[in-house]
């Protein structure tokens, strides 16, 4: 009977340890960004239409633009991607090349970001790759 109790306590202890460990924040978090989307979060979405005929190397260089922007202080989260192959409908516009999605805690942070020297320098360096940019900002409710 003692052996069964020992094995059962080991199993319960291991399960509890796993559960508690999964609730703990990782010690070596890979970035400084807060990924929660709470009320009043500012969502900054930027759509890019790249020039026709740019080479794969030029497109890869363009992606460095996002890496530079991601280092600017005050960003909650920065993600980018290409259009999803969703079903064509009159309300869907998949004509863009890339979407940049950046979130901020408040208006002060996005105001700093918009005029940050690294942001402005990156635009100057990489604007040679796009023909059109659209920005759409929103405050979550």
pTM for the complete prediction? 0.73
22: pLDDT strictly greater than 70: no
The residue assigned the tokens 């004509």 is 95
Rg (CA), the chain: 22
Question: 60 vs 55, 57, 66, 105, CA distance in Å?
Answer: 9, 5, 11, 30
CATH number of 31-139: 3.30.70.100
Longest dimension (CA), the chain: 76
pLDDT tens for 50-74 read 999 999 999 999 999 999 999 999 9
pLDDT tens for 79-101 read 999 999 999 999 999 999 999 99
Residue ranges per structural domain of the chain: 31-139
């Amino acid at each position: 009977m003692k052996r069964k109790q020992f094995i059962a306590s080991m199993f319960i202890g291991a399960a509890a340890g796993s559960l508690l460990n999964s609730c703990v924040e990782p010690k070596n978090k890979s970035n400084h960004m807060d990924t929660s989307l709470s009320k009043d979060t500012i969502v900054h979405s930027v759509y890019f239409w790249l020039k026709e005929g740019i080479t794969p190397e030029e497109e890869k260089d363009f992606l460095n633009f996002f890496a530079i922007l991601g280092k600017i202080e005050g960003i909650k989260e920065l993600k980018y991607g290409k259009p999803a192959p969703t079903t064509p409908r009159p309300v869907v516009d998949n004509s863009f090349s890339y979407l940049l999605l950046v979130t901020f805690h408040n208006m002060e942070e996005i105001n700093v970001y918009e005029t940050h020297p690294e942001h402005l320098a990156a635009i100057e360096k990489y604007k040679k790759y796009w023909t059109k940019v659209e920005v759409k900002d929103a405050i979550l409710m």
